Amino acid sequence: MLRELYCGLLGLIFRLAGVLVLLQYLGDITSRICARTAGLSTHSQAARCKTPQTIEMRLLPAGAPRLGLGLAALGRPGYITLNRGADLADRSVEAMRARAEEVLDAAYAGGVRWFDCARSYGLSEDFVGKWLEKRGHTCDAVAVSSKWGYRYTAGWRVDTAGEPHEVKDHSAAHLRQQWPESDDLVGSHLRLYQVHSATFDSGILDNVETHEALAALKRDRGWALGLSVSSPAQGDVVDAALKIEVDGERLFDAVQATYNIFEQAPGPSLTAAHAQGCTIIVKEAMANGRVLSNAALLKHAAELDCSPDALALACVLAQPFEPHVLSGAVTTDQIASNLGALPVAERLRGDPELLGRIMGETRQDSEAYWAERAALAWN
């Protein structure tokens, strides 16, 4: 009797042990399946964020304002903006990263969902990429544009003893070097990749090898393509760039130009580009801070009960070529004030006579504008 009871109990123990082993095995299998599923989901999301259907060759996530934040002044210690020393006392990497994250947070809280970087803006891509990772902002919700073509050479210095802060190279070899660097830092959120400061002299407009390499990026990575322009000839460069085709399709989807109440010369070219379905981006909408002392702007800002910076940005946002406009803010107060441009722009759209009057009273000669800009010191 005792022997039978003992054998029965022993058999029960073995059966229970077998069940536990089976449960552990099933648990391991389930964990592996879940892990693979999670990996597939992550991969699918990344792929979905890179497809043309998601990008739609547009810069902004749905519902976002046409005001973005540029990192030209936040990503490196030196830049040509006026009064930079008063805004940025500590230029160490740690301090600049902290400041960038503060302004990025403030911009995001204000509704901004688009951030513009460049390989030559110091650590701009690294700052934005790490911030996106920390905050968990998905590629559906936040867009990044960046640029290649300039190499940052300042070595995190403001005073480079006469050496250039950045060196331009629009060769296909340089593109092949720089795009993987951008992809590594912000690739999951990158919607637009731009040639940095295209000019007739840089050779980009007739470099077929580079055109084909860019077209391959558009095809393989799903990135829209653009170019930024500078100088009094920027309108002519835009006109020429939009004629470039690869395999019968226009190469560039967007142009980024300098346009503000002072420099209005590229307006006709930007209007024509917009009519062709090209996305228009405006940089230096406050002329590196120079517009803020303009008497006519100050007078109209007082009459409209808005800040001068908000009015300067609003005058650009209200243009008929419907630009996406970059703020160059380096403080949370500046980005908050810049965001005030959105309602002012709506008011100007409803009063084109007022907009025309402001633009007419503030316009400068293009050659004189660029000569003055060239004289600005890195600080």
The pLDDT value given to residue 57: 45
The pLDDT value given to residue 49: 62
Same domain flag for 127 and 255: yes
Per-residue pLDDT, averaged over 356-362, amounts to 99
Helix (H, G, I), strand (E, B) or coil at 304: helix
Residue 71 near residue 326, CB atoms below 8 Å: no
Residue 225 near residue 278, CB atoms below 8 Å: no
Q: What percent of the chain has pLDDT over 90?
A: 83
Same domain flag for 28 and 139: no
> Which residue, 19, 35, 50, sits at the end of a domain?
50
Mean residue pLDDT across the chain = 89
Tokens 């406050």 correspond to what residue?
Answer: 286
Q: Which range marks the domain in which residue 12 is found?
A: 1-50
- Residue 186 within a domain: yes
* Residue 31 pLDDT > 90: no
Q: Rounded to an integer, what distance in angstroms lies between the CA atom of residue 69 and that of residue 335?
A: 8
DSSP 215: H
Instruction: List, in order, residues 6 or more apart from 284 with CB less than 8 Å away.
Output: 258, 260, 263, 328
Same domain flag for 104 and 143: yes
Same domain flag for 95 and 77: yes
Same domain flag for 92 and 223: yes
Q: Provide the CA 292 distance to its chain's centre, in angstroms.
A: 24
- Tell me the sheet residues that pair with 282: 257, 325
Instruction: List, in order, residues 6 or more apart from 74 with CB less than 8 Å away.
Output: 96, 99, 100, 103, 124, 127, 330
Which one, of 321, 194, 205, 340, lies nearest residue 259 by Cα?
321
Q: Provide the CA 348 distance to its chain's centre, in angstroms.
A: 26
- Residue 295 within a domain: yes
Per-residue pLDDT, averaged over 73-77, amounts to 98
* Residue 15 pLDDT > 60: no
Per-residue pLDDT, averaged over 82-91, amounts to 95
Q: Rounded to an integer, what distance in angstroms lies between the CA atom of residue 352 and that of residue 354?
A: 5
Same domain flag for 14 and 118: no
Per-residue pLDDT, averaged over 14-23, amounts to 40
Helix (H, G, I), strand (E, B) or coil at 313: helix
* Residue 284 pLDDT > 50: yes
Same domain flag for 178 and 191: yes
CATH number of the CATH domain containing 180: 3.20.20.100
The pLDDT value given to residue 45: 43
Number of domains making up the chain: 2
- Residue 379 within a domain: no
Instruction: List, in order, residues 6 or more apart from 152 with CB less than 8 Å away.
Output: 76, 119, 120, 121, 122, 165, 166
- Residue 350 within a domain: yes
User: Residue 50: pLDDT band by 50, 70, 90 thresholds?
Assistant: low
The pLDDT value given to residue 231: 94
The pLDDT value given to residue 58: 66
What are residue 353's phi and psi, to 5 degrees?
-65, -45
Same domain flag for 110 and 252: yes
The pLDDT value given to residue 33: 30
| Higher pLDDT pick, 48 / 153 | 153
- Residue 314 within a domain: yes
- Residue 45 within a domain: yes
User: Residue 371: pLDDT band by 50, 70, 90 thresholds?
Assistant: very high
User: Residue 217: pLDDT band by 50, 70, 90 thresholds?
Assistant: very high
* Residue 37 pLDDT > 60: no
The pLDDT value given to residue 278: 96
Same domain flag for 32 and 149: no
Residue 233 near residue 200, CB atoms below 8 Å: yes
Same domain flag for 221 and 359: yes
User: Residue 63: pLDDT band by 50, 70, 90 thresholds?
Assistant: confident
pTM of the entire predicted model: 0.86
Same domain flag for 43 and 185: no
- Residue 9 within a domain: yes
* Residue 47 pLDDT > 80: no
Torsion of CA 232, 234, 235, 240, to 10 degrees: 130
Q: Rounded to an integer, what distance in angstroms lies between the CA atom of residue 348 and that of residue 281?
A: 19
Same domain flag for 69 and 35: no
- Residue 162 within a domain: yes
